[in-house]
A and B are shown apart, each in its own frame.
Chain A
Amino acid sequence: MALYSEKVMDHFRNPRNVGVIEDADGVGEVGNAKCGDIMKIYLKIENGIVEDVKFETFGCASAVASSSMATELIKGKPVSEALKLTNQAVAEALDGLPAYKMHCSVLAEEAIKNALEDYYKKHPEAKRD
């Protein structure tokens, strides 16, 4: 068996939504160089919808693939739905991750949540539901 599913390798080799949003409405960064995975998520939000999302990742293949898949899962979705993204959903969408790589999907979930928190902080007028 290969180390990773074909989905993981596809998102690793051709990551979606890579990059930076200069005037982002929310930015989230998690992880640290010590543990070996760092993710940064940039959000553009309009009328309560995630209009655009970009990521930068320092990490292993499953960290890159998890970031890529997580951004795909929230792009175009209402903020309320993006907030409900779970690491299981990310891992499932990737056709699974090896057990010792599940922390990468957790980081992806946390990075998105951090970015959304940052959005609420910067936009106190936005209401949560």
Chain B
Amino acid sequence: MYIYADNAATTKMSRAAIEKMTPYLAECYGNPSALYSLGQRAKDALEESRETVARLIGAEPREIVFTSGGSESDNQAIRSAAEAGAKKGKRHIVSDAIEHHAVLHTLKRLEREGFEVTLVPVTPEGIVEPDVVRAAIREDTCLVTVMTANNEIGTIQPVKEIGKICRARGVLFHTDAVQAVGHIPLSVGELGVDLLSASAHKFHGPKGVGFLYAKRGTPLANLIEGGAQERGRRAGTENVAGIVAMAAALEEAVAGIERNAKRLIPLRDRLIAGLSKIPHGALNGDPVRRLPSNVNFCFEGIEGESLLLLLDDRGIAASSGSACTSGSLDPSHVLLAIGRPHGVAHGSLRLSLGEDATEEQIDYMIEATSDVVSYLRGFSPVWHDLADRKAEFVL
């Protein structure tokens, strides 16, 4: 059995998207800025894709800027709002502790440039509370940025409520919706956001392409200077084939949201129930306000990388927030932010299901995980001390 359970990291491209994109690599390869028909046909495809993407998130085509993916969209959204704020003397930004590094590192850089950043804490379930955001907003706040859904623990944030607060206070609101677009119903009007980031490879489109929604009238600063592509807001010859594929993938993903959720939520909950039987483990994140595909656990007394490699030997591709998988000394900032101690955060496992997951696969993953966790605990000095009551169990 081979189970790809790392769909939060990236997804397999949809057949339809591959088929839609190949003509734009093989035959219709013209530069969309060119005047001859080969170029103009590419331009048409580009603008049709823009219309499709806009329609699927409830936006206007002119509000969509194509980018190289989620990271670029996050960078551009945040820098744009910061620059606009600075012009009015507003140099304070509100965000939260569990954002993606594309957001957090951009904020760090702005701090070095003289901005002040407030990262509000999250609840133990990993939810950003609207009241906490409200309390953090100041007279000089130029931007609030809170993700729609978390990439590690899958929590779905109360973006709509936060949007309302931002509108009432006249503060720009950005949401990193990379994990949400194509997976949960979403419309920019309803969310009340000014800026929204998305990435094609998270919804069965290609890697290296994404988009930024910027509500009409929202000032956008350029990250990449050059030609006048994307109405001067993002230079560089457009990734036409990638953009066409992204639109096709999003069309398919959005059409399947309800059907997939109906299928996935019971499977996700079956997996959660099965893994909950492993002693001294716990679900990370909220049991209900959660992406249909996301399961994330901590198991005491084991380390995540070892767990992943042994699961890989059994044909399961998963991920972990352990330090050893991130290449740094610290485990996931998200797990630390929801209150998991360092030692426990090292023993985390994220299984993110694909839409084609089956009950048989779920049961196989439960069994394999239980086996590997007990095997690793068998020679873990940490587990040994816990079992001998020389240390206290946390979970």
- Enumerate chain A interface residues (CB-CB to B < 8 A): 9, 12-13, 15, 18-20, 29, 32-40, 55-64, 100-101
Contact = CB atoms under 8 A, between A and B. Distances in A.
A106 B382 CA distance: 19
Interface of B: 301-303, 305-306, 309-310, 313, 322-325, 327, 329, 331, 341-343, 346, 378-384
Contacts of B323: 35-36
Chain B contact residues, majority secondary structure: helix
B303 A60 contact: yes
A15 B379 contact: yes
A20 B378 CA distance: 11
A35 B346 CA distance: 9
Given A34-B342, A36-B346, A58 B302 contact: yes
4 residue pairs, one from A and one from B, having the closest CB atoms: A33-B343, A60-B324, A60-B305, A40-B381
B389 to A, nearest CB: 16
B349 to A, nearest CB: 14
B306 A64 contact: yes
Contact of A57 (B313, B325, B346, B380): B380
B327 A58 contact: no
B379 A19 contact: yes
Contacts, number: 70
Given A36-B331, A100-B327, A56 B343 contact: no
A56 B379 contact: yes
B309 A29 contact: no
Nearest to A57: B379
A57 B343 CA distance: 13
Nearest to B322: A36
B384 A56 contact: yes
A37, A59, A63 interface centre (most CB from chain B within 10 Å): A59
Given A34-B342, A56-B380, A58-B382, 4 more contacts: A56-B381, A58-B301, A59-B306, A62-B324
A34 B324 CA distance: 12
Contacts of B309: 9, 12, 61
A60 B306 contact: yes
A13 B313 contact: yes
A86 B343 CA distance: 27
Contacts of A55: 379
A55 B378 CA distance: 11
Nearest to A31: B381
B72 to A, nearest CB: 27
Contacts of A100: 327
A9 B309 CA distance: 9
Nearest to A104: B324
28 contacts: A9-B309, A18-B378, A33-B343, A33-B382, A34-B342, A36-B322, A36-B323, A36-B324, A36-B331, A37-B303, A37-B324, A55-B379, A56-B379, A56-B380, A56-B381, A56-B384, A57-B379, A58-B301, A58-B302, A58-B383, A59-B303, A59-B305, A60-B303, A60-B325, A61-B309, A62-B324, A63-B303, A64-B306
B171 to A, nearest CB: 37
A56 B305 CA distance: 16
Contacts of B331: 36
A49 B346 CA distance: 37
A29 to B, nearest CB: 7
A18 B384 CA distance: 13
Contacts of A9: 309
Contacts of A35: 323, 329
